[in-house]
A and B are shown apart, each in its own frame.
Chain A
């Protein structure tokens, strides 16, 4: 019997591990593991204040490229009308999210959250390519527009072209021309953060610019020299709350878009924490009809690589995910209860009471929860004794107890509100039925087996619930169970093995401790 159970358990564990590994390998879409990768969780929080007008906010959203994967996106749209469109502008397609409201009077907060996995890339710039007299002829049609001047990138400007010929001289090699332009912009243009970036012409005139001005100047020089190039906007990721975005450039050299960042000194390379959001000289956010608008990014590390296949729990809409977060903890709690009862031998009021208590503790915090449970059970037990005096039949009596527990819980909520203790309001999620049942069990046990056994069972329930609570609070466990629900198979395997555990419970050694004195008294 045991052998079969162990075999089934081993199969279940192997199956869950295999599924987890498969999901990690095949979940990461285009990104291969040999690159230095980083995972981040980014929230864009936008605070809208309207003045009784129709408001519209337009935000460019990041998309998958060959070095970045966007996954687990969530939108908290605050009842606005939200949609995503691919918008062609400036010769390229960006992914743009639109939020529209009816007449907006007052505040709204919109939240867009996503995870991203990024890799570092370092390019080698081919040395054998030379500039052409007719650059347009050298490149495919969809690249050619990136040679033309635009309103902020004035590559046709006479002054700029003169400066360029001074910088590059007679050099015709693309490799060394780009190097010279890069060195000029990095060396001669002083970095200074500004309100509103300069265009290429102004940056050249003042020789002082922020990332936007430097990127536009670099792009303008390259286009003037006949190298297709463009600005790229994005975010430098580090655990932080920030508003500042970044702009860098890409040049089309030898059939590849190669990144350059003159501000932070990345020549032909892009570090792993650069998140690309839009291409071309584009605006990250535009809005109309708002009296006030504020936005910021909240960035933190993400622990889970992309596993957002259709079967993943991440596809569930965000507001249902909080429910799923609770559901996935129930098997974990059951495992704790089974272990504590079968291996340790702690008595509890049933199997489910400790699990549901632990879940309730999560909502209201441990100490508030524990205080509420103890006072509710104690108060309930006193009132039940009163009902016992009236000789009420059991079913109506239980119904009265449920009603009384609901009244207590409502009272706690009102008191909590007046004490402005917000956590107390969550008491409503308390497992009311379980508490009623605990009162009943406590009372019956107290009458039948005496107060000590009732207190011991109550203490056991509390201890197991607290243990389950602490295990449920471990962030890693929560995240991994959510990302890989196949781990439940491993939990079932563990429970199967507990189900065939025939060893003596730890507390039975205590119960039968007299057996130890026995061997001393009369040796067998």
Chain B
């Protein structure tokens, strides 16, 4: 048995994977969600529709022009860890209703947007841009599972090979967000068939969702094959060797890529009850030109890797 189940620690992830495999100059492509969206749309990879963007304070008035739109999401282009995202689900009189049920005036929304523009939520506090996009409606399968918000699927690709995945379920505590350290539930996914098994909540292993009490294991992720195929195609656009791709499954549009992350977190290991190191090392054992292989070949490598580490 490997040391501590082959746990990949923060130091090793940085020193041996992100720093080595991810070229610094490619980071803006994923750190700026607007650029990510542009690139994905250019290559017909589905992503939530961009309504409009706000670059300057004077453009705040665009918000007041919103007449018929009732559901949308306000996001900072450079936000980290789901920070600064405001989900508007309805319009009640003169107020906007957020996903958590709070009523906001237009002033409140404008203040939030101006904070984003000033860089409150961006990496390193630099000036930021805001974009307004399509509000994803959760797939019916997840209605009973998630408390609020939209669950997403985090897929880790190492050198273009899908390596590990988890389903992230928002909880009451996480306030509709799907980030594990904010209290969301992470559920491990069997890479072969896309079936979930036990999960993790606040670093503790769990079997049931803490709010809905629904069993979180044994769920077959819809469109699993599509998700895998989209992942390997996405790698060819971004060329980052160690990357996390966040998918959401829209009830009518199917899998959409929300964002990419060049520094994906480590909690996915807890959700899968397994360390990442054996998988990463197996992929490295496939030779130096894994990245150059065609997408279909790389999908096969995932299967091969699972066989090698005896997960099938």
Query: How would residues 249 to 262 of chain B score, 1 for a CB under 8 Å from any chain A CB and 0 otherwise?
Result: 00000000000000
Given the complex, which residues of B lie within 8 Å of A513, measured CB to CB?
203
Q: Which of B4, B5, B16, B119 contacts A502 (CB 8 A)?
A: B16
Q: Which residues of B have CB within 8 Å of A345?
A: 10
When chains A and B are docked, how far (Å) is the Cα of A512 from the Cα of B81?
20
Interface residues of B in 244-295 (CB under 8 A from A): 266, 269-270, 273, 275
Say yes or no: A515-B120 contact (C-beta < 8 A), given A501-B11, A504-B12: no
Looking at the complex, which of B110-118, B153-161, B233-241 is the stretch in contact with chain A? Answer: B110-118
Interface residues on chain A, number (Cβ under 8 Å): 30
Q: Are A514 and B204 in contact (CB under 8 A)?
A: yes
Q: If the complex has contacts A503-B11, A503-B12, A504-B11, are A518 and B203 also in contact, measured as CB distance less than 8 A?
A: no
**Contact, CB under 8 Å: B107 / A444:** no
On whether A514 and B270 interact (CB within 8 A), knowing A504-B4, A508-B7, the answer reads yes
A162 proximal to B (CB < 8 A):
no
How far in angstroms is the closest Cβ of chain B from A402? 15
Tell me the complex Cα distance, A514–B108, Å: 42
Question: Which residues from A are CB-within-8-Å of B111?
Answer: 391
Is B99 located at the chain interface by the 8 A CB criterion?
Answer: no
Residue of B nearest to A514 (CB): B205
Asked if A504 meets B7 with Cβ closer than 8 Å, knowing A393-B114, A514-B203, the reply is: yes
A394-B203 in contact given A502-B9, A505-B11, A512-B269 (Cβ < 8 Å): no
Of A189-197, A446-454, A469-477, which binds chain B? A446-454
Number of interface residues of B (CB under 8 A): 34
Is A524 located at the chain interface by the 8 A CB criterion? Answer: yes
Residues facing B in A480-524 (CB within 8 A) are 499-505, 508-509, 511-515, 517-519, 524
Which residues in window 442-474 of A have CB below 8 A to B? 444, 448-450, 453
| Contact status B120-A508, CB under 8 Å | no
Cα A1 to Cα B83 in complex, Å, equals 35
A511 to B203 Cα, complex, angstroms: 6
A519 to B11, CA, bound (A): 24
Please report the C-alpha to C-alpha distance between residue A136 and residue B81 in the assembled complex, in whole angstroms. Answer: 95
Known A-B contacts A449-B182, A502-B15; the reply to A395 vs B120 at CB < 8 A is no
Q: Which residues of A contact B200 (CB under 8 A)?
A: 514
Which of B4, B20, B107 contacts A512, CB < 8 Å?
Answer: B4
Given A450-B182, A514-B200, A517-B205, also A508-B5 (CB < 8 A): no
> Cβ of B1 < 8 Å from any Cβ of A?
yes
Neighbouring A residues of B182 by C-beta, 8 Å: 448-450
Closest to B12 in A: A502
Pairs A–B under 8 Å by Cβ, sample size 7? A448-B182, A502-B11, A504-B11, A508-B10, A512-B7, A512-B203, A515-B275
| Extra 4 A-B pairs, beta carbons < 8 Å, given A499-B15, A512-B4 | A394-B119, A518-B205, A518-B273, A524-B310
